Structure 1
Amino acid sequence: MASTSIIQHDPDEPPYVNLLNICRNNVIELNNIYLSMFIYTNGNAALAYSAKVAYWTSKVREGGDWDYKLIYGWNKLYKIIVNGKAEYVYGEDIGNINYGYTGRSLPLPPEILCAAAGVVQILTGNFEISYYKSYFDDPEDQEAIRKGISWYEQGL
């Protein structure tokens, strides 16, 4: 199970989570899976990539090790630091940001990542028809996914 990466905090502030570190470490983990499979398959890049995507999917799925709302909770507020600035996110945002960050590292296109999140909502019956502009995913979840995508694309 992943460590929570919560650091001691000011009692007047929400707990601090080093979210960028979590995302970066998860990308390293994905790259290690790829390299291991590449070696194991005697240089079969397609098979190694497929294994990497399958591994990522198993991690980010509901109930997976990177389903961080199970660790951080849905509505608990956390402090993160991005480019030297404090931001505040909820526990469920942590998982969505990580999903966008790590998914973009695969590299899956942003629209595929956003649409896939909506497909999961449809398949599990957790969608609102009014969310059609955000692929039937909660617009706030999509915003967090896009934040993770943006962080990765900025090289954070």
Structure 2
Amino acid sequence: MNNYGKRIFLKAALGGVVSLATAALWASSAAAGKAFAVVKSDAEWRKILSPLAYRVLRKEYTEPPFSSPLNDEKRKGNFVCAGCGQKLFNALTKYESGTGWPSFWRPIRGAIGTKADYGLHLPRTEVHCSRCGGHIGHVFDDGPKPTGKRYCMNGAAMRFEPI
């Protein structure tokens, strides 16, 4: 682990307990030479997030399908990270995938990061906010043109900002 990764772990240890998933994400990000602009302790995240948003963003939980009001959101605007407010997806890239989660065919440039996820013993690609490292969902190769991608996101990990 490089010095940046060691500083993050030290800051986390001094500021509160972090989840293993968050620690692993920080370590992989630090090892890749990436730094999250927003870093908070576990206690700080719990204060600013709803219980469900905390479980999704910080513990990599998946909300039940068809449970998020954002699944039916059709207005012009942007879907932003519920943790740090970074714009993640423009509403123009949202489509109805039939999966029960808000789905998009393209993120806003630079807004997300990805990593391999073997949590279900199947290879998947996890999507996280590039600014705070919060877990947002997964991306699959069964989406519509022009990208062929389906960014299947947890509504609890986002807020909608109409324009």
Normalised by the length of structure 2, the TM-score is: 0.26
Please identify which structure carries the higher strand content. 2
User: Relative contact order, CA 8 A, sep 6+: which one is greater?
Assistant: 2
Normalised by the length of structure 1, the TM-score is: 0.26
Please identify which structure carries the higher helix content. 1
